[in-house]
C-alpha cells in the first residue's frame, strides 16, 4: 500500500483463471533452457494504463472479473507455460509441469484518477499495481508464477499489471501475450494463434565461431556468476518521455557519423555519457563499460520470431576508452560505437553463450546458473526497438494492444525485479509513435535525482511519468 490515501491501492478480490481446454497430455513437463536459468534471479513487471475500462458492462464501476476471464481462459489454452507450475527434474534443473493450474488474477481500486496518478505517483506507488512476490523456497508447485492485477482508477481509468519470474519469459513475451489477449477480446482470430514455446534445436550443428562479442558475454556471466547481496542503497525509478521531434533533432546532429542510428542507440549513448559525468570525473578511469541487452529472436532461427514465448535475450559488454568520451564529438562517437556493437551481434554469439552455459554449469554455481545477476551490476541498457515497425508506418506492438473499445494504452511501464547495483535503463516505444521513446531509469536515488536536473537531458524537454511530482 502507498503511504498516502491518494495513492492507495486496495486489492479486494482475486480468482484463478484456468484454461478452457485441458492441456494434453496431462502432467507433461517441458525443461527450461540455459537462457531461462540465467534469468532466474529476476522478475518482470509490466503495467498497461488505459483511459477507460474495456471490461465494464455498464456504469463506472461495473467491471466483473468473471467477464474478463472468458476470452482469457480460451487464450490460456495456448499458453501451458503460463498455467503450469515450476518443478525440478532429477538433476535439479527447472522445468514446467503442464497441469492447467491457472493464472492468478487480482482486482483492485486506486484512490485517485489515472491522470493524477501518472503525474504524481512514484515507483513505490506503482509497485502496488502489480504483484511483487518472490518464488517460495523449496517446492513451488502450488505457487502461480503468472499473475495479472486489474486496478480501477477513479473516473474510469484502468491499469493491467502482468507479473512473472524472468525464469519463464522475457518482457517481449509478455507484450506479445497481452497483444494476443486484446486481439481475442476484440474478436480478432489472430489473438488465438498458438505461440512457439520451445527454441529450435541447437544441438547437432557445426561448432559456432567465437567472436569478440561472445567473449565479452561469457566474461560478463563469469563476473556476475554469484548473485550480489541485496544492497542497502536506496534505488529510485524515473521515466522520461521524449517526443518524436526531439529524437529526430538529436539523430540529425550526427547523421554524418552514423546515419542509421536508432533512438535506442542515441538515448543509450546520451544517458551513459551524462551518468558517467554524474558518477565520477572522466579522468578517474581509462575505460568505461556498459551492458547492452537486445532481443535475439531473429538470430535464433525461430520460424515466426515474434511468436516465441520464453527467454530470447542476449547481453554483451561494450567498453569505451575514456579519451573517446571527451570533446565535442564524444556523443557522436559513442552512438556510432553502440550502433556498430549491436549490429555486430550474430547468431554464433548467442549459440556460443548457450554452449558455454550447457558445458560448464559448474562455472556458474552448480546445475545451470542459479543466481546470475544480469541487470544492474554495471549500467545495463535494454532495447525494445524490435517492438517498433522498422518503417515507422504502423503502431508499435505495445500500443497496438487495443481492447473492444479500440483504445490504445496511454502509457506502459516496465520494471525488472532485483536490478540493484549501478543502474538499469529501459528504452521502450512511446504512445506518440514514430521516433518518440520512453526511457525508464532505475539508479541509486541520489544519482537519479541529479540526472533529473541534468541540463543536457532536461534540455530535450522530456515529460516525466510516474516519477513523483517532477
Q: Using only the alpha carbons of the chain, give its radius of gyration.
A: 22
CB–CB of 111/8 below 8 Å?
A: yes
Q: What is the pLDDT of residue 141?
A: 86
Q: Are residues 227 and 156 in the same domain?
A: no
Q: Are residues 330 and 448 in the same domain?
A: yes
Whether 409 is in a domain gets the answer no
Q: Are residues 279 and 328 in the same domain?
A: yes
Q: Give CA–CA dist 143/201, Å, rounded.
A: 30
Whether 84 is in a domain gets the answer yes
Query: Per DSSP, what are the bridge partners of residue 347?
Result: none
Report helix angle 347-359 to 212-223, nearest 10: 40
The residue among 94, 103, 141 whose CA lies nearest residue 20 is: 103
Whether 412 is in a domain gets the answer no
CB–CB of 152/108 below 8 Å?
A: yes
Exposure on the CB side of residue 118, measured as CA atoms within 13 A:
23
Exposure on the CB side of residue 11, measured as CA atoms within 13 A:
17
Whether 125 is in a domain gets the answer yes
Q: Are residues 131 and 219 in the same domain?
A: no
Helix (H) or strand (E) holding 84: none
Q: Are residues 146 and 50 in the same domain?
A: yes
Q: What is the pLDDT of residue 64?
A: 61
Q: What is the pLDDT of residue 430?
A: 96
- Residue 254, classed as helix, strand or coil, is coil
Q: What is the pLDDT of residue 205?
A: 55
Sequence-ordered alpha helix ranges (H) in 39-100: 65-76, 80-83
Q: Are residues 445 and 319 in the same domain?
A: yes
Query: Locate cell 503511504: which residue?
Result: 3
Q: List the Cα angle 164/201/87 in 5-degree steps.
A: 35
Q: Which residues span the domain enclosing 460?
A: 212-392+418-465
Query: Per DSSP, what are the bridge partners of residue 74?
Result: none
Does the global pTM surpass 0.85? yes
Give the total residue count for the chain.
470
Q: Are residues 78 and 127 in the same domain?
A: yes
Q: What is the pLDDT of residue 326?
A: 72
Last residue of a domain, one of 142, 160, 192: 192
Query: Locate cell 477507460: which residue?
Result: 52
Q: Are residues 130 and 240 in the same domain?
A: no
Averaged pLDDT in 10-residue chunks for the chain of 470 residues: 68 90 86 88 96 68 63 92 92 90 94 94 94 86 94 92 97 95 83 84 58 66 59 87 96 89 96 88 72 92 89 91 78 94 88 76 49 85 90 78 88 94 95 95 93 94 88
Q: Are residues 64 and 109 in the same domain?
A: yes
Q: What is the pLDDT of residue 60?
A: 42
Q: Please classify residue 339 by burial: count the beta carbons closer than 10 Å to its beta carbon, then call 0-12 exposed, 13-18 middle and 19+ buried.
A: buried
Backbone region of residue 5 per phi and psi (left: phi > 0; alpha: psi in -120 to 50; beta: other values): alpha
Whether 128 is in a domain gets the answer yes
Whether 380 is in a domain gets the answer yes
Query: Which CATH number goes with the domain that contains 56?
Result: 3.30.559.10
**Cell triple for residue 415?**
520494471
Q: What is the pLDDT of residue 384?
A: 97
CB–CB of 172/41 below 8 Å?
A: no
Q: List the Cα angle 375/376/381 in 5-degree steps.
A: 70
Q: Are residues 104 and 138 in the same domain?
A: yes
Q: Are residues 290 and 338 in the same domain?
A: yes
Q: What is the pLDDT of residue 59?
A: 42
Number of domains making up the chain:
2
Whether 131 is in a domain gets the answer yes
Q: Are residues 221 and 359 in the same domain?
A: yes
Amino acid at each position: 500500500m502507498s503511504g498516502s490515501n491518494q495513492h492507495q491501492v486496495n486489492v479486494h478480490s482475486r480468482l484463478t483463471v484456468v484454461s478452457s481446454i485441458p492441456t494434453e497430455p496431462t502432467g507433461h513437463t517441458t525443461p527450461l533452457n540455459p537462457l531461462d536459468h540465467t534469468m532466474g534471479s529476476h522478475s518482470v513487471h509490466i503495467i498497461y494504463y488505459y483511459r477507460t475500462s474495456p471490461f465494464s458492462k455498464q456504469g463506472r464501476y461495473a467491471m466483473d472479473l468473471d467477464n474478463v476471464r472468458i476470452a482469457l481462459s480460451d487464450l490460456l489454452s495456448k499458453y501451458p507455460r503460463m498455467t503450469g507450475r515450476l518443478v525440478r527434474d532429477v538433476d535439479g534443473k527447472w522445468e514446467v509441469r503442464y497441469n492447467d493450474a491457472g493464472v492468478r488474477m487480482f482486482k483492485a481500486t486506486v484512490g485517485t484518477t489515472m491522470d493524477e496518478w501518472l503525474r504524481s505517483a512514484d515507483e513505490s506507488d506503482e509497485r502496488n499495481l502489480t504483484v511483487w512476490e518472490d518464488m517460495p523456497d523449496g517446492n513451488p508447485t502450488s505457487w502461480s508464477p503468472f499473475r495479472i492485477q486489474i486496478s480501477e482508477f477513479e473516473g474510469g481509468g484502468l491499469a493491467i499489471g502482468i507479473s512473472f519470474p524472468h525464469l519463464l519469459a522475457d518482457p517481449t513475451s509478455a507484450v506479445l501475450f497481452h497483444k494476443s489477449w486484446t486481439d481475442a477480446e476484440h474478436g480478432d482470430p489472430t489473438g488465438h494463434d498458438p505461440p512457439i514455446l520451445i527454441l529450435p534445436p541447437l544441438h547437432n550443428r557445426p561448432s559456432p565461431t567465437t567472436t569478440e562479442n561472445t567473449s565479452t558475454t561469457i566474461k560478463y556471466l563469469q563476473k556476475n556468476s554469484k548473485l550480489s547481496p541485496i544492497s542497502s542503497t536506496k534505488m529510485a525509478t524515473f521515466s522520461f518521455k521524449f517526443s518524436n521531434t526531439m529524437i529526430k533533432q538529436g539523430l540529425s546532429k550526427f547523421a554524418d557519423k552514423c546515419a542509421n542510428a536508432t533512438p535506442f542507440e542515441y538515448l543509450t549513448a546520451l544517458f551513459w555519457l551524462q551518468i558517467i559525468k554524474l558518477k565520477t570525473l572522466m579522468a578517474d578511469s581509462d575505460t568505461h563499460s556498459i551492458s547492452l541487452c537486445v532481443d535475439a529472436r531473429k538470430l535464433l532461427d525461430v520460424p515466426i520470431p515474434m511468436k516465441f514465448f520464453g527467454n530470447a535475450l542476449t547481453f554483451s559488454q561494450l567498453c569505451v576508452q575514456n579519451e573517446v568520451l571527451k570533446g565535442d564529438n564524444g556523443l557522436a562517437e559513442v552512438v556510432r560505437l553502440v550502433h556498430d556493437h549491436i549490429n555486430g551481434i550474430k547468431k554464433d554469439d548467442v549459440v556460443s553463450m548457450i554452449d558455454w552455459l550447457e558445458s560448464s554449469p559448474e562455472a556458474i554455481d552448480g546445475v545451470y546458473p542459479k543466481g546470475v545477476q544480469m541487470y544492474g551490476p554495471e549500467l545495463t541498457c535494454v532495447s525494445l526497438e524490435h517492438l517498433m515497425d522498422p518503417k515507422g508506418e504502423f503502431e508499435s506492438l505495445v500500443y497496438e494492444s487495443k481492447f473492444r473499445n479500440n483504445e490504445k494504452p496511454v502509457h506502459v511501464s516496465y520494471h525488472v525485479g532485483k536490478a540493484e547495483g549501478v543502474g538499469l535503463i529501459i528504452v521502450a516505444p512511446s504512445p506518440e509513435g514514430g521516433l518518440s521513446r520512453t526511457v525508464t531509469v532505475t539508479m541509486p536515488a541520489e544519482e537519479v535525482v541529479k540526472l533529473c536536473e541534468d541540463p543536457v537531458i532536461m534540455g530535450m524537454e522530456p515529460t516525466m511519468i510516474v516519477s513523483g511530482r517532477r
